[in-house]
Chain A
């Protein structure tokens, strides 16, 4: 009988342990960015973003920089070769915790949350609070976010010659659906 108790407790502990690390994940999230100046608009999309939310509100997002597709092949090469240095810094990441996280978010309504964490682009980390909407559709989390990135904040140099073509403030759009792991 004693042994049975131990089994029960052990099973519960192990099970609760697995429960506590419930996670939702995606590997094909979409990230778009847009640079607008009066001379030229530059747009790129990436369908290879990974995202993870744990049920304690912590999250991690990762975007392979080489996965951004541009309208012009040369722009894509310059983006990777000259600006983001993608071989040295292959991923952009955002990692942290959702500030007002609670189980009540899982009610099917769309909620605006604050994602607080460290945004790392071009190997340069910056503390950010990014507003996002989060909605539980019964099976998965739908995450949407729009925010801006300052090239200077991540030490992405823009030479004088192309300053009229590349905005200092880049708009980023994120859309992801995170399913249980």
Chain B
């Protein structure tokens, strides 16, 4: 008897659970979407931390995708404080042409040429770590290595010094980025630059700089960018820290970058270690970049 009543109790419970389940099903039935379970790609690598492969002067974490050629024409005009005679620097433009090719979605090879010091560059950029949307990886880390060769005939004081190796310099960077929100991203960029020949005898061949940059999106296709590079000891006092402010405007396949900076050169050795302009003197340069991608 006792076992029977246990059975009936068990069965009644089952019945109740069954009815309950069906009623829950009906309530739930308002949204079958819930029955699909967790969404695919709810966790994904963070994309578009910056609009372009550069923040202003310095590289961002972005690389062109696989088989994509990223072409940049960059202009840097003369000093703004030259005044009306030189149309506030616009008469004196220097130019940099760069081709970056994405070997994979994370690895890219680049070549570039600047009119400033007739410099050639070859570079390699590797997105080693990508930030993840659920913060399981909170940061992105990208490595950048560039070799620069100046080609100007007036380089160095004596002809004997104008050897090929003396024309070379190298910069290595780790670009540590985080996209905090849809609008706000930051980067921390420690750089190491080696120059085979230095202009002043008391300058170090090896120079560390510590950079920081960021962007804030003002609108869907417009962002405000800034970057700063702090020189750690080694250079003469005349050397300045590089500070740049800019705006990125994206239009379909192009990104336009407008900026004001106290650095004249557009490659790493120049803006990291050879910045001489001072913001407070108005010794600033207006810059204008245009980038375009081509798919192969």
Interface residues of A (CB under 8 A from B): 2-3, 6-7, 9-11, 13-14, 17, 20-21, 23, 25, 27, 48, 50, 52, 54, 58-60, 62, 64, 66-67, 71-74, 77-78, 80-82, 85, 87-88, 90-91, 93, 95, 157, 159, 161-162, 165
Considering only residues 5-36 of chain B, those with a C-beta below 8 Å from chain A are 5, 7-8, 11-12, 14-15, 17-19, 21-22, 25, 29, 31-33, 35-36
Known: A72-B295, A74-B65. A54 touches B32 (CB 8 A): yes
CA distance A55 to B236 in the complex (A): 80
Q: What are 17 of the A-B contact pairs (CB < 8 Å)?
A: A3-B8, A6-B7, A6-B15, A13-B18, A14-B18, A17-B25, A52-B32, A60-B33, A60-B36, A64-B41, A66-B44, A72-B68, A73-B65, A74-B253, A77-B47, A95-B32, A162-B252
CA distance A60 to B33 in the complex (A): 5
Interface residues of B (CB under 8 A from A): 4-5, 7-8, 11-12, 14-15, 17-19, 21-22, 25, 29, 31-33, 35-37, 39-42, 44, 47-48, 64-66, 68, 102, 105, 133, 182, 220-221, 250-253, 293, 295
Nearest to B68 among chain A residues (CB) is A73
Q: Are A91 and B14 in contact (CB under 8 A)?
A: no
A-B complex: 9 closest residue pairs judged by Cβ atoms: A73-B65, A60-B32, A14-B18, A64-B41, A6-B11, A10-B15, A3-B7, A60-B33, A64-B40
Name the prevailing secondary structure of the B interface residues.
mixed
Known: A10-B18, A161-B252. A67 touches B36 (CB 8 A): no
CA distance A122 to B31 in the complex (A): 19
CA distance A96 to B37 in the complex (A): 17
Q: Are B105 and A23 in contact (CB under 8 A)?
A: no
CB distance from B261 to the nearest CB of A (A): 26
Question: Which of B11, B48, B66, B220 interacts with A7 by CB under 8 Å?
Answer: B11
Question: Which of B14, B25, B39, B252 interacts with A10 by CB under 8 Å?
Answer: B14
Nearest to A80 among chain B residues (CB) is B47
CB distance from B171 to the nearest CB of A (A): 26
Q: Are A13 and B19 in contact (CB under 8 A)?
A: yes
CA distance A67 to B133 in the complex (A): 14
CA distance A157 to B220 in the complex (A): 10
Write out the residue numbers on chain A whose beta carbons fall within 8 Å of the beta carbon of B48. Answer: 77, 80-81
Q: Are B295 and A95 in contact (CB under 8 A)?
A: no
CB distance from B161 to the nearest CB of A (A): 45
Write out the residue numbers on chain B whose beta carbons fall within 8 Å of the beta carbon of A161. Answer: 251-252
CA distance A91 to B65 in the complex (A): 24
Chain B CB count within 10 A is highest, among A23, A71, A95, for: A95
Nearest to A25 among chain B residues (CB) is B36
